[in-house]
């Protein structure tokens, strides 16, 4: 058996980044930049007003002038080429271009206007309330390095500099197949001794959430030929993810079939609970994972090894979940020769975190995963511990029911 760290390293050592492809900007959401992205435009494109107010010469304010003549009114979107002369002002709206001659905007709240005469009640510093051309971005500035995740802010930024399409890393194509003669497809009735196939659903979701493209190949019964047929078809993809049939049972054919089909084994067996009989190998650039069939084991193997690999294939630098140290809210059970990945829920405790496990932790109890927003990893050979003992918890996607105590944000009396 190898350790979790060794397994992660062995998998990542086989990852080859996928090529880039161009997609319409909205389709780039959730994908990784396929190359370093350089701004073709500057932002702002022109000097403009940051406030509704009056544009004047700052030097005249400094010299003590408080009365100006309003010469023109400039709404956002209108380009005015009239030069503002000495003693002149332009009434200007937020985002409107500054006309030539002026360099400072006095907010409307600090002024009064009667007819064409503007009175400044409170002067501002020269240059204030003006957004200068290119102060945010110059032409040629790098917006993102290759591999950056393109979220809402990123595609907004790309839109702001004129991108309609953008280069993103191709999505890894992941063939998903379930093995087990006991498995029944969704919708079909259960005969005695049969169970429903849930792994194809959990792994489909995990693959999609990792920015990859799941391809469902169905169920192979525990039969050598059928397993061979499906795994052979799966090998045409970037990644093969089979569940079940990889342990030491009489009908566990996955490893044998992988070998027959030319998969070079990198490891089988990780000192992790759940997720011990994980088989990993490669064939012609394809990563081939045989994860154990127990539903939690399959999901945990995905989290620990497959998700980082899928992100790395997209060039993403952020391969791992963020993690925190959290204090156990209950006694911590000892571990034996394997590290244990316990499904847990995090709770705010003052400025830190506490965690509770999500009920019985058997590797077939999918509910323990559904209830979890974190995975606590307790090292191998860890003695029993008291409540308060701190463990590393990797954060899965989640949300809090309690409003965060945003500092100062509740002090208006209106809450
Ligand atoms: P295996 O790894 O094939 O020995 O399977 C271990 C356990 O996981 C057995 O109880 C299987 O019935 C169960 N199992 C295997 N595949 C699936 C699946 N696709 N969905 C739900 N349970 C499964
Ligand atoms: Mg099986």
Q: How far is the CA of 396 from the centre of ligand 1 (A)?
A: 23
Write down the pLDDT at residue 413: 53
pLDDT tens across 236-268, in order?
999 999 999 999 999 999 999 999 999 999 999
DSSP class per residue in 124-151: --TTTTEE-TTSSB-TT-EEE-TT-B--
Q: What is the DSSP letter of 233?
A: H
Residues with a CB atom less than 6 Å from ligand 1: 178, 180, 182-183, 195, 197-200, 243-245, 247, 249, 292-295, 364
| Structural contact between residues 274 and 294, judged by C-beta atoms closer than 8 angstroms | yes
Can you say how many angstroms the Cα of residue 194 is from the centroid of all Cα atoms in its chain? 37
Write down the pLDDT at residue 411: 65
**Mean pLDDT computed over every residue of the chain:** 96
| Structural contact between residues 391 and 378, judged by C-beta atoms closer than 8 angstroms | yes
Ligand located closest to 248 CA: 1
Looking at domain 4-16+171-313, does it have CATH number 3.40.980.10? Answer: yes
Atom of ligand 1 nearest to the CA of 245: 3
pTM value is 0.94
What is the mean predicted confidence (pLDDT) over 173-180?
Answer: 98
Write down the pLDDT at residue 410: 77
Domain 20-43+135-169 CATH superfamily: Molybdopterin biosynthesis moea protein, domain 2 (3.90.105.10)
H-helix or E-strand spanning residue 155 = helix 152-160
Q: How far is the CA of 381 from the centre of ligand 2 (A)?
A: 29
Three-class DSSP category at 327: strand
CATH class of the 323-395 domain in this structure: mainly beta
Classify 158 in phi/psi space as left (phi over 0), alpha (psi -120 to 50) or beta.
alpha
| Structural contact between residues 157 and 39, judged by C-beta atoms closer than 8 angstroms | no
Write down the pLDDT at residue 397: 76
Whose structure tokens read 């492809």? 21
In this structure, which residue's CA is closest to atom 15 in ligand 1?
293
Cα separation of 39 and 391, whole Å? 43
Domain 48-131 CATH superfamily: Molybdopterin biosynthesis moea protein, domain 3. (2.170.190.11)
What is the mean predicted confidence (pLDDT) over 100-120?
Answer: 98
Atom of ligand 1 nearest to the CA of 198: 20
Work out the pLDDT band at 415, boundaries 50, 70, 90. Answer: very low
Write down the pLDDT at residue 186: 84
């Amino acid at each position: 058996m190898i350790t979790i760290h060794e397994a992660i390293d062995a998998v990542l050592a086989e990852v080859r980044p996928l090529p880039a492809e161009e997609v319409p900007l909205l389709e780039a959401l959730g994908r990784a930049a396929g190359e370093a992205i350089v701004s073709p435009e500057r932002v702002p494109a022109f000097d403009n007003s940051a406030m509704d107010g009056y544009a004047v010469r700052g030097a005249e304010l400094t010299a003590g002038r408080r009365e100006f003549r309003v010469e023109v009114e400039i709404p956002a979107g209108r380009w005015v080429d009239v030069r503002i002369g000495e003693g002149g002002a332009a009434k200007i709206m937020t985002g409107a271009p500054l006309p030539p001659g002026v360099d400072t905007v006095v907010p409307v709240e600090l002024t009064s206007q009667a007819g064409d005469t503007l009175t400044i009640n409170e002067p501002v510093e020269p240059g204030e309330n003006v957004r200068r051309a290119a102060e945010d971005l110059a032409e040629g500035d790098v917006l993102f390095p290759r591999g950056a995740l393109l979220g809402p802010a990123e595609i907004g930024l790309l839109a702001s500099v004129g991108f309609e399409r953008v280069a993103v890393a191709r999505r890894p194509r992941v063939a998903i197949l379930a093995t087990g003669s006991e498995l029944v497809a969704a919708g079909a009735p259960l005969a005695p001794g049969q169970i429903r196939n849930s792994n194809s659903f959990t792994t489909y979701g995990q693959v999609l959430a990792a920015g990859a493209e799941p391809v469902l190949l169905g169920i192979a019964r525990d039969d050598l030929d059928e397993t061979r047929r499906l795994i052979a078809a799966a090998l045409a993809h970037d990644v093969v993810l089979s569940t079940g049939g990889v342990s030491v049972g009489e009908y566990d054919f996955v490893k044998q079939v992988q070998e027959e089909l030319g998969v070079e084994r990198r490891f089988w067996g990780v000192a992790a609970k759940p997720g011990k009989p994980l088989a990993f190998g490669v064939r012609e650039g394809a990563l081939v994972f045989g994860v154990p069939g127990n539903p939690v084991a399959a999901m945990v193997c995905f989290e620990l090894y497959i998700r980082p690999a899928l992100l790395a294939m997209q060039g993403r630098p952020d391969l791992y979940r963020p993690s925190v140290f959290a204090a156990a809210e209950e006694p911590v059970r000892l571990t034996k020769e394997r590290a244990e990945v316990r499904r847990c829920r995090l709770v705010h405790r003052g400025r830190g975190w506490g965690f509770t496990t999500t009920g019985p932790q058997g590797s077939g109890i999918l509910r323990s995963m559904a209830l979890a927003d974190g995975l606590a990893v307790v090292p191998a050979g860890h003695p029993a511990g008291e409540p308060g003992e701190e463990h590393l918890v990797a954060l899965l996607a989640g949300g809090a029911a309690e409003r965060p105590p945003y500092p100062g944000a509740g002090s208006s009396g209106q809450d």
